[in-house]
A and B are shown apart, each in its own frame.
Chain A
Amino acid sequence: MNLVPEFDPLFFSEAALRMRGYRQQILASNMANIDTPGYKSRDVLFTQALREQLEGTAYSNALPLSSTSDRHYRIGGSVPGAPALLYRMPMQPSLDGNTVDVETERSHFADNAIRTEAAMTMLNSVIASRRMALTGNQ
């Protein structure tokens, strides 16, 4: 069992699930705005977002917050921040400035849902193995 947070499977699965939920929300808003003139499709770079979550550097792109005391909250420490949102390059730009592509969004959405389930399966097996270690499978 690993107690270093970055390599702890429980911590990792939790961060992965949180990021999957976050991405699900972004993709849902792209799909909701499929007919909104001028709306730009957005997404996160999942690998980078997850790494930032694990390393606690999600605020690295934001403005630095200076503190005058050690007892102030630290931004970039244990506070989980929102990862940077990027814009998707449109394959077929439309006249009204909307860059949401139905097929792309749907495939990303389905992919994200499957991977969320995978992360949940992982988390379940971590919980099951820890429970077994605690109870001796009684």
Chain B
Amino acid sequence: MSLMRSFQVASTALSSQSLRMNALASNLANAESVAGPDGQPYRPKHVVFRPAPILGEVAAGVEVASVHEDMRAGPKVYKPGHPSADANGYIQMPNVNPVEVMVDMVSASRSYQMNVEVMNTSKQLMLKMLDLGRG
């Protein structure tokens, strides 16, 4: 039944968007993480989506294709007293731009809301469908 598929499609979108939101939260939380377990500054993570075909259907959901790490170096900040400072007193900061992350977060939250709306509408239609012929 097609309306059931709308549920399935919207739920794949919800879980993918929430994974993206998790990655963004992690980026924002680690904006000041100068040294991770490997001694390197934190690398921001970006989630890449791809369509996820549903067996026997033309409609496609969405899934996370990869979580890509941003390898670009962040800014250098002069902090001579810092334990991770180099010989010249500079430390390597993670390449997290809070403005970029916030914009991405608004986009993720909008997409999430829209797919919740798809689910709600499909639910209402299916409930009406159950009442067919009762009038």
Which A positions have Cβ atoms within 8 angstroms of B? 17-18, 21-22, 24-29, 31-37, 39, 82, 85, 102, 106, 109-110, 113, 116-117, 120, 123-125, 127-128
Task: State whether B114 touches A29 (Cβ < 8 A).
Answer: no
**In the complex, chain B residues 37-53 whose Cβ is within 8 Å of any chain A Cβ:** 48-51
Provide the bound-state CA to CA distance between A103 and B47, in Å: 24
Q: Does B13 make an interface contact (CB < 8 A)?
A: yes
Q: How many A-B residue pairs have CB under 8 A?
A: 101
Task: Look across to chain B and name the residue whose beta carbon is closest to the beta carbon of A98.
Answer: B49
Nearest-neighbour CB distance to chain A for B117, whole angstroms, equals 8
Provide the bound-state CA to CA distance between A17 and B1, in Å: 11
Q: A35-B108, A127-B135 are in contact. List 14 more A-B contacts (CB 8 A).
A: A22-B2, A28-B5, A28-B9, A28-B122, A29-B60, A29-B61, A31-B115, A32-B60, A33-B60, A35-B17, A39-B51, A82-B58, A117-B128, A125-B135
Chain B residues with Cβ below 8 Å from A24 are 2-3, 6, 122, 125
Question: Which secondary structure dominates where chain B touches chain A?
Answer: helix
Nearest-neighbour CB distance to chain B for A123, whole angstroms, equals 6
**In the complex, chain B residues 113-135 whose Cβ is within 8 Å of any chain A Cβ:** 114-115, 118, 121-122, 124-125, 128-129, 132-133, 135
Task: State whether B57 touches A25 (Cβ < 8 A).
Answer: yes
Interface residues on B, range: 35 or more
Q: Of residues A21, A113, A120, A124, which shows the largest number of chain B Cβ atoms within 10 Å of its Cβ?
A: A21
Provide the bound-state CA to CA distance between A106 and B116, in Å: 12
Task: State whether B9 touches A116 (Cβ < 8 A).
Answer: no
Task: State whether B62 touches A32 (Cβ < 8 A).
Answer: yes
Q: Does B107 make an interface contact (CB < 8 A)?
A: yes
Task: State whether A21 touches B115 (Cβ < 8 A).
Answer: no
Provide the bound-state CA to CA distance between A34 and B13, in Å: 9
Nearest-neighbour CB distance to chain B for A63, whole angstroms, equals 17
Nearest-neighbour CB distance to chain A for B74, whole angstroms, equals 24
